[in-house]
Structure formats: structure tokens, C-alpha cells
Structure 1
């Protein structure tokens, strides 16, 4: 059985430091690998940054609920929180792998719809300053984010689709 051991801020996998080239090649999960070579943080530091970004994103999303009746502030806080939460995973798996996964054919449409909804929410909030359009864009953004997130869970989209179809089926 393999073991993970923390040593001086670096993680050991099966006896060798993950910072070593051999350990990266032997890492069976490919998790917390090189980080595209752009990030010189250790795996433990990346976990800390991931957690900090995720907590900050969730805090922004929670704070956005406080200003729910001010759609412009709500849209800004909520969208910024979403972007922080999604960007936090780039510290775990690396930016290029994150982008490859986001634009994988399985989740390409969900990613594009989500990005369009984020831009639309910001445009409606900042440029048009329309409360109704901003709320509609935020609702679409939430739905796109849920659909995007479901693409990472095997068969989740299919189950949700079947559940929705069975709930909306009005045959007597």
C-alpha cells in the first residue's frame, strides 16, 4: 500500500519527494503534478492556495446573498466568487490541464454557455444596469454552472435529464 508523508512542506509518495522528476512520472493519479511548469509552489502550498481561493470564492458567493436585492452588486460578487472557485482548481491540476478539461468535447457546450452567461451577467450589471436582465443572466449562469459541474460526475447529466423528463412528463 502506498503512503503519503508530509516532509518539510513537500509531500512524499511511496518514499520519494513529489518534487523529483521520477516521482512526477510515477504519480499514478497525475494529481498535483508539475502544474504546467509555471507554478513553483510545492504541492502543500498549492493545496493552501486552492483552499484560500475556494474559501474566498464561497465567501463572495455568500456575501452576494446579502446584497441580493441590489442586482448589480449581487452579480459582481456572485460572478467573482464563481470565477475564484473555478480558478482555484487550476492550482491543483495546472492551468493547461484545467483548460483542456474545460474544453473537452464532453463539457465544451457547458463551458461555452457558462462563459457566455458570466459575460452576459457582467454586461447586464455594469453596462445596462438593468436589474431584471442581470437577475435573468445570473439564473442562467447558475444553471450553466450546475450543468458544467455535473459533467465531472459520471452519468450525472443523464440522471438529471431523466429525472427532469420524468417530473415534467404529464401523461395521464
Structure 2
């Protein structure tokens, strides 16, 4: 649209800046954006499901990590086709999307940390079961601290 406006106003020969040239060259129609969004999102979901399936294979943990990560990145990148990456980054912190953004950005690290702590506590509780009266001592200690 800007190019048409320049031609009609007689400023066709003006030199464009690099950013304007890139934006003019990369504009996609709405239909193309929706198609690439769907392709990228479906690829992301497929990779995530495939990665989850690798968990049941022997030594499939590395494949799970790779495919699940690629799937999440592809699914997140797919939203950039709808609005463009810069506009997407600006809009993700609006009040209507703020909670979802926080959960997405912090959630995975926070959940991973929570599960690591829970696993450590479970291992501690399991280990204490081999020491006579250790669990009773820990329970008494915590109840006295909390009351």
C-alpha cells in the first residue's frame, strides 16, 4: 500500500531504508499467513506428540527432549505468521494475554523446578524409610515447627 501511495504522489524514485525494503519484501497475504500458521502449528504439535512417544523407547529421553523442544518452538513461531514477530512481541504483554504469557514463559521452568524439588523430597522420604524411626522424627520436627 505504501508503494502505491509513493507512486501516486510522485515519490517513486525516493530511496527506501533497509527496514522498509525488508517489510515490503516480506509482506504476505492473509491467506498465506493463515496457511503457514496452520502448517507450522501442526508441525509443532506433531513433533511434540512424536517426542512424547519416544519416552517409551529405550534411551528415548534425548529424542524426547529434542522433538518436544522443536515442537514447542515451532508452535510458538507459528503465531508470528499471523501478525509478524515484532507486533507479536508487543501484543503478548497486553492485559488480555499477560497471564498466558507469564505461564508460557515461566511455566516450563517453574514446573521443571517444582518437579525437581518434589522428586528430591520423594527421594528423601524414601531414603528415610530405611532408617528406623527417621520418618517419625521428621514428622515431629515439622509439626513442632508449624505449631
User: TM range, normalised to the smaller chain?
Assistant: 0.3 to 0.5
TM-score by length of 1: 0.42
The structure with the largest alpha-carbon Rg is 2
TM-score by length of 2: 0.48
Q: Would you tell me which structure has more strand in proportion to its own residues?
A: 1
Q: Would you tell me which structure has more helix in proportion to its own residues?
A: 2
